Amino acid sequence: MIEHDIRPAVAADVPAVKAVTDAAYHPYIERIGVVPQPMEADHAAEVAAGKVFVTGDTVLGLVVVEAFADHLFLDSIAVHPDAHGTGVGRRLLHFVDAHARALGLPEIRLYTNAMMWENQRIYPRYGYEVVERRVDGPYDRVHYRKRLG
């Protein structure tokens, strides 16, 4: 899979979007003590709104993004556990960079649960810096941003 194999999700992808999201986030339920927010998202509405991009014909990974006036918000990135270590996540993160640039946005923002420590090792490797740590309801989140040059 290469970057141009990432495409906007369509209605027919909704079951796969849900399945990949659930598979990716399910292991965190016990660790963080609540269901991760992406698992509770209205996937059909997000797809209909054009916020979801998936990997090629077989959905092994996806991103949910939303454009704002001054940044692209990376709401969720999910890679099916069967595809871990195959570069799917890296390609999705590169896609997000390219998508933000294509929209003329100067930065990308995201947050991850403080208990998802794996993510806190990954994002800095891709140019993200910690902005703050904040509790939002039941979620203890580390907020990141990446300025695009």
pLDDT tens digit sequence for 45-75? 999 999 999 998 889 999 999 999 999 999 9
pLDDT at 4 (0 to 100): 54
Secondary structure class of 90 (helix, strand, coil):
helix
pLDDT at 57 (0 to 100): 83
Using CA atoms, how far apart are residues 135 and 148, in angstroms rounded to an integer?
27
- Tell me: pLDDT of 3 over 70: no
Residue with tokens 């990432």: 6
Residue 31 one-letter amino acid: R
DSSP 70: S
- Single pTM value for the model: 0.94
Nearest Cα to Cα of residue 51 among 85, 21, 84: 21
- Tell me: pLDDT of 9 over 70: yes
DSSP 39: G
